[in-house]
Amino acid sequence: MSVIEKAKSQFLIDLENKYGAHNYHPLPVVLSRGEGVHVWDVDEKKYYDFLSAYSAVNQGHCHPKIVNAMVKQAQTLTLTSRAFYNDQLGPYEEYLTKYFGFDKVLPMNTGAEAVETALKLARKWAYEIKGIAEHEAKIIVCDGNFHGRTTTIISFSNDENARKNFGPYTEGFIKIPYNSIDALEKVLQSTTNIAGFLVEPIQGEAGVYTPDDDYMMLAKELCNKHKVLFIADEIQTGIARTGSLLAVCGNCSCEGHCERQASSYATPDILILGKALSGGAYPVSAVLANDSIMNVIKPGQHGSTFGGNPVAAAVAMAALKVVEEERLAQNARTLGKLFRSKLNEYIKTSSIASLVRGKGLLNAVVINDTEDSDTAWKICLALRDNGLLAKPTHGNIIRFAPPLVMNEEQLLDCVSIITNTLKQFEV
Ligand SMILES: *Cc1c(COP(=O)(O)O)cnc(C)c1O
């Protein structure tokens, strides 16, 4: 970087530092443009994006079909509120529910709002259908979860940084270890008044923890047996990211060929989507459920001014069509296997990287250093210098999640950037 170039990005970083709350710790790179798997910084340096805005940009940056749908709708009608009907919401709701195989959707904007919606829905169902006494409903969650940032959601987080000094906390949650069917069974047997089990099919923020192949299926069966709602938070894992349309169906035998709901997967009672539902163009989230659950919500009991707005509806429909037309689930599955096999080859002889794990194109490399060291951060800075953007997650773990529109040649190029960068850190 020349001195002048450095001055430009530093100026913009300083502005954020001075005028913005310090609630993030970004990697020092200032982006101004994106297309497909690439982003460019203010000095026109080109990078592979290996975060994809936490898997919101599965369809690639500025996908023309999604952008066109957004521009067209933005020029026509942006917001009516739900006080009136609009001509985009109904067709979108029909498309989305058929796409995922549910009776109904409740549209929201952000992921955290959708999780809140699912929690409220599960509680209301518990009181009005299951017959739990008022204020007694409990929801089971997992250690290491990440479901968003509202006061209720952080109430059941284990992340002290996310929780501390934000109390008092919302009650009614029981935490169990992730990926333990025994723990789930024990709590279901020993506790009454349980409304639902909220779980991520892969714990993304925690460091891409991938549970046993049968965990989702067995958890779903246990929930059925105990008349407890199985609530899947697929905000990060869903919409082709892990090599199937939903991560909960990742272990069926269809090899990712199901663009639509498969029969053999652990169908959630409540499905939560966000992020890639809009391809990263606009905040769009959704809660899906069948009538027996969704119909407990009556007018005035839940809502959002922007939820279900015409731009969101048009954008989300375009974004889902791209996933199907471009067979992104299949691509993620194939490239994911290639990525892990190449990384595993490297790791065999590496002292700095100890493990690669993940599914489809949601992967992480565990760095061989103590949790509180800044090695992963330093590696991410070096990756940036070498033209690839990634970010550490909790501990010394680097998540690698490129847009799913990547091709094999690009992926192999990225593998060499990653392994060459790691080599700089070998001792
Ligand atoms: C990102 C994320 C959320 C929160 O979504 P926001 O849009 O940031 O509110 C919730 N759950 C999971 C699994 C996520 O990855």
Percentage of residues of the chain with pLDDT beyond 90: 91
For residue 310, name the pLDDT band (cuts at 50, 70, 90). Answer: very high
User: pLDDT tens digit string along 339-368?
Assistant: 999 999 999 999 999 999 999 999 999 999
Q: Does residue 297 surpass a pLDDT of 90? A: yes
On the CB side of 332, CA atoms within 13 Å amount to: 36
* CA angle (249, 365, 211) in 5-degree steps: 30
Q: Does residue 283 surpass a pLDDT of 80? A: yes
Give the tokens for residue 254.
């269809």
Give the C-alpha distances (Å, rounded to integers) separating 198 from 27, 31, 122, 227, 318: 31, 35, 10, 14, 29
Q: What is the SS3 assignment for 162? A: helix
> What pLDDT score was predicted for residue 263?
42
> What pLDDT score was predicted for residue 176?
98
Q: Does residue 262 surpass a pLDDT of 60? A: no
Is the entire prediction scored with pTM above 0.85? yes
Residue nearest ligand 1's atom 11 by CA: 147
Spacing, Cα 279 to ligand 1 middle (Å): 14
Spacing, Cα 112 to ligand 1 middle (Å): 6
**Which residues are part of the catalytic machinery?**
146, 233, 275
> What pLDDT score was predicted for residue 265?
62
Residue nearest ligand 1's atom 5 by CA: 111
Of the listed ranges 40-49, 391-400, 414-423, the least confidently predicted one is 391-400
> What pLDDT score was predicted for residue 394?
81
116 lines ligand 1 (CB under 6 A): no
> What pLDDT score was predicted for residue 395?
73
Rounded Cα distance, 369 and 408, in Å: 31
137 with 131: CB under 8 angstroms?
no
Give the C-alpha distances (Å, rounded to integers) separating 53 from 49, 376, 409: 9, 18, 22
The bridge status of strand 138-142 relative to strand 104-108 is unpaired
396 with 370: CB under 8 angstroms?
yes
Rounded Cα distance, 370 and 354, in Å: 12
Spacing, Cα 347 to ligand 1 middle (Å): 30
54 lines ligand 1 (CB under 6 A): yes
418 with 343: CB under 8 angstroms?
yes
Q: Rounded mean pLDDT of 165-183? A: 98
Give the tokens for residue 158.
């284990």
Q: For 265-309, where are the alpha helices, taking DSSP H only? A: 291-294
Asked if the peptide bond before residue 28 counts as cis, ω within 30 degrees of 0, the response is no
Residues near 193 by Cβ (< 8 Å), separated by ≥ 6? Answer: 126, 132, 133, 136, 137, 138
Spacing, Cα 234 to ligand 1 middle (Å): 9
Burial of 321 (0-12, 13-18, 19+ CB in 10 A): middle
On the CB side of 35, CA atoms within 13 Å amount to: 5
Closest CA to 141 of 171, 97, 162: 171
Give the tokens for residue 329.
């689930």
233 lines ligand 1 (CB under 6 A): yes
Write phi, then psi, for 397 (nearest 5 degrees): -130, 135
Closest CA to 390 of 144, 208, 143: 208
Give the tokens for residue 246.
């939903």
Which amino acid is it at 343? L
Residue 370 DSSP code: -
Residue nearest ligand 1's atom 10 by CA: 147
Rounded Cα distance, 67 and 52, in Å: 16
Ramachandran area for residue 265 (φ above 0: left; ψ -120 to 50: alpha; else beta): beta
Rounded Cα distance, 333 and 47, in Å: 23
> What pLDDT score was predicted for residue 3?
62
258 lines ligand 1 (CB under 6 A): no
For residue 238, name the pLDDT band (cuts at 50, 70, 90). Answer: very high
> What pLDDT score was predicted for residue 24?
95
On the CB side of 76, CA atoms within 13 Å amount to: 14
> What pLDDT score was predicted for residue 255?
53
Residue nearest ligand 1's atom 8 by CA: 111
Give the tokens for residue 27.
């990697």
